[in-house]
Structure 1
């Protein structure tokens, strides 16, 4: 895996009751998808999990994981909060 597996932070709201999380790495994204995600199906969900695995073995840059993670959140109805550049 690349030495730097971090990406621009992604804020998530409503993952459970009153929960807020900031995800900023491939590892955080993978852990959140596999342990805390409200649904474990959906095309974007599976793509995001696959993206995490691909990034862990070094075949995908972290920013691709970030984009897939955001799409999975939108699919699951989770509010995404992004800071302006």
Structure 2
């Protein structure tokens, strides 16, 4: 399976205050969105999940999945670390 590696990783704060996770691929992003995301619904979340799935099936661009992940994070109020 193509993991959809990203050129630049994303570090974000988890549901535990002060705990951060860094992800660097679409596969990791999909796992977070499906299993550990603080929001269960949202337009950007739905789009990020679909985009990640497309990349993992070989039908999308990993960098677009990365941008979709960032948009879902903004929608959910997830803090992204610089």
TM-score, structure 2 normalization = 0.90
1:63 deviates by 0.3
1:44 deviates by 0.2
Q: Using the alignment, how far apart are the partners of 1:51 and 1:28 within structure 2? A: 13
- Structure 2: state its 5+ residue gaps: none
Partner of 1:77: 77
Q: Using the alignment, how far apart are the partners of 2:75 and 2:49 within structure 1? A: 14
Question: Where do 1:31-50 residues align within 5 Å?
Answer: 31-50=31-50
TM-score, structure 1 normalization = 0.87
Aligned-pair RMSD on alpha carbons?
1.3
Partner of 2:9: 9
Q: Give 4+ residue runs of structure 1 displaced > 3 Å after superposition.
A: none
1:56 deviates by 0.7
Please give the per-residue CA displacement for 1:43-64, whole angstroms capped at 9, x wherever unaligned. Answer: 0000000001100111111001
The number of equivalent residue pairs is 80
